[in-house]
């Protein structure tokens, strides 16, 4: 079965940095575009970022543009989200999702607090 497993979440102070990872298995990872989606506690879903299979096309939500960087290593079947200048409002569960949003990871919680 297709699996996506996120890691890297945790508690970080405002202004700090964190790198999330998402490892995919049981599918040809390089053939699929990938997304990051987040959900603040008790709130709805917010799309964060997109990266094409070859990394040739990258998109960000305005709320993270210039602070977050998405990347991937197809040799390791892995997707990354480097987050810098973190704000309290970035606190959320971060999910990775496959191209058509047909498969999602279980999510990793990022808490930004002093």
Partner 1 sequence: EIMLTQSPVTLSLSAGERATLSCRASQSVSRFLAWYQQKLGQAPRLLIYDVSKRAAGIPARFSGSGSGTDFTLTISSLEPEDFAVYYCQQRSNWPLTFGGGTKVEIK
CB of residue 53 to partner 1, shortest distance in Å: 17
27 touches partner 1 by CB under 8 A: no
Q: Taking CB under 8 A as the rule, does residue 23 contact partner 1? A: no
Name the residue among 66, 83, 92 with its Cα closest to residue 21.
Answer: 83
Q: What is the rounded CA–CA span in Å between residue 88 and residue 14?
A: 6
Bridge-partner residues for 19, per DSSP? 82
Q: Which two tokens stand for residue 32?
A: 């699929």
Which positions from 44 through 103 interact with partner 1, judged by CB under 8 A? Answer: 44-47, 50, 59-62, 95, 100-102
Which chain residues interact with partner 1 by CB under 8 A? Answer: 35, 37, 44-47, 50, 59-62, 95, 100-102, 104-107
């Amino acid at each position: 079965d297709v699996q996506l497993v996120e890691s890297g979440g945790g508690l970080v102070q405002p202004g700090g940095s964190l790198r999330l990872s998402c490892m995919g298995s049981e599918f040809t990872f390089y053939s699929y575009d990938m997304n990051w989606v987040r959900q603040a506690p008790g709130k709805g879903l917010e799309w964060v970022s997109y990266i094409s299979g070859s990394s040739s096309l990258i998109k960000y939500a305005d709320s993270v543009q210039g602070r977050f960087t998405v990347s991937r290593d197809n040799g390791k079947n892995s997707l990354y989200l480097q987050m810098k200048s973190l704000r309290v409002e970035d606190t959320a569960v971060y999910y990775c999702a496959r191209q058509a949003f047909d498969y999602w990871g279980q999510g990793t919680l990022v808490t930004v607090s002093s």
